[in-house]
Amino acid sequence: MRLARKVTAMAMASMMVVSMAACGGGDSAETTTAAPAETTTAAAADATTEAAKDAAEETAKEAEAAGGAGGNIGVCIYKFDDAFMTTYRNALQEILEGKGYTVTVMDGKNDQAEQNNQINNFIAQEVDALIINPVMTSAADQIIATVKDADIPTVLINREPTAEQMSTYEKLVYVGCDARQSGTMQGELILDTPNKGDINGDGKVSYIMIQGDPENVDAQYRTEFSVKALTDAGMQVEELDLQRGDWDRNKGQEIAQNDLAKFGNDIEVIFCNNDDMAIGALQAIQAAGRKVNEDIYLVGVDALDAALNEVVNGNMTGTVLNDANGQAAGAVEAMEALLGGKTYASGEQSIYVDYVKVTPENAADFQ
């Protein structure tokens, strides 16, 4: 049952008390012949009616203030075997269940058609709200149209639609991070090294880029802004290779292995759009006999536990904290605001949680 129906039902139940009290007062008035008694009974009935009305209003206010606690929430994750989204969904579920919600989390298995079916099933079940991590950013229009037609408050996470797309539905909000910031911080990690990434001193930073899903806006921005940070600082750059790694550790390892064999010592920096691919690249670096922070630099994004360990041990130059717990808390807060009746104007539908630059000096603080 949807939240609005719950509030209505509680209000109707209280009004039934009003009706019964009024009828009872009428019966008493009919059996009393003295005028003063009729007046007294009528006044009592009026008082009972007002008290019941007040109780109904208070019940509705309490339900609204609770933001729908105890309701049914559907959560769609693009795929369960993504390391970062595993941390994110576990945090989401813990927060929601801790607030008394009934939560169902579905694995989209990296298949947009599968996720579309899951969203439609949640709608048929009349969940109170949806939290959706889209499989494909390009599916945003369809997802938004579907939840709008069903009039279900919806929070999109991790993969951000355009402001124009979101503006079509006022009960929709995006909670995530600005991927431009994470890319910039990756570039800054390289600029913070003693030679600013130019290990061989030839006047330019030669790099390979292991990208996530090129359709994903996070991958696009991390790819662009990591390099832009270098050029904005006056560094010359040379892209030796850019390949799609789909956020996958094995693909990261394979791409780095092939590029290290092809370009050898010309590679000074390996940029990875996430930590899983960076850990795969690290395996290739070590197998090739290279040493991170001595003859090659390696940076990722997410600050996964495994990556933090490598940063602490000097096997990664750094990473960028993608705050899964903070984003999960923000997503739940936004969802409760929507359940409480809040709507979002065009241009105000994106809520950002800051990234944090992680270096060997502070990595232990995040473990």
Largest CA distance in the chain: 109
* Residues 6+ away with beta carbon under 8 Å from 302: 83, 84, 274, 275, 276, 319, 320, 321, 322
Q: Residue 118 in contact with residue 106, Cβ under 8 Å?
A: yes
pLDDT band at 65 (very low <50, low <70, confident <90, very high): very low
5: pLDDT strictly greater than 80: no
Q: Residue 26 is encoded by which pair of tokens?
A: 């009428």
Q: Residue 337 in contact with residue 286, Cβ under 8 Å?
A: no
User: What is the tens place of the pLDDT at every residue in 99-130?
Assistant: 999 999 999 999 999 999 999 999 999 999 99
User: What is the tens place of the pLDDT at every residue in 291-325?
Assistant: 999 999 999 999 999 999 999 999 999 999 999 99
Total length of the chain: 367
Block residue for tokens 């109170």: 128
pLDDT band at 48 (very low <50, low <70, confident <90, very high): very low
Residue 69 is predicted with a pLDDT of: 59
Beta bridge partners of 364: none
pTM beyond 0.85, yes or no: no
Q: Please give the residue that has the higher pLDDT: either 246 or 53.
A: 246
Q: What is the rounded CA–CA span in Å between residue 241 and residue 269?
A: 11
pLDDT band at 233 (very low <50, low <70, confident <90, very high): very high
Q: Please give the residue that has the higher pLDDT: either 1 or 93.
A: 93
Sheet-wide strand order for 102-107 = 102-107, 72-77, 129-132, 154-157, 172-176, 350-352
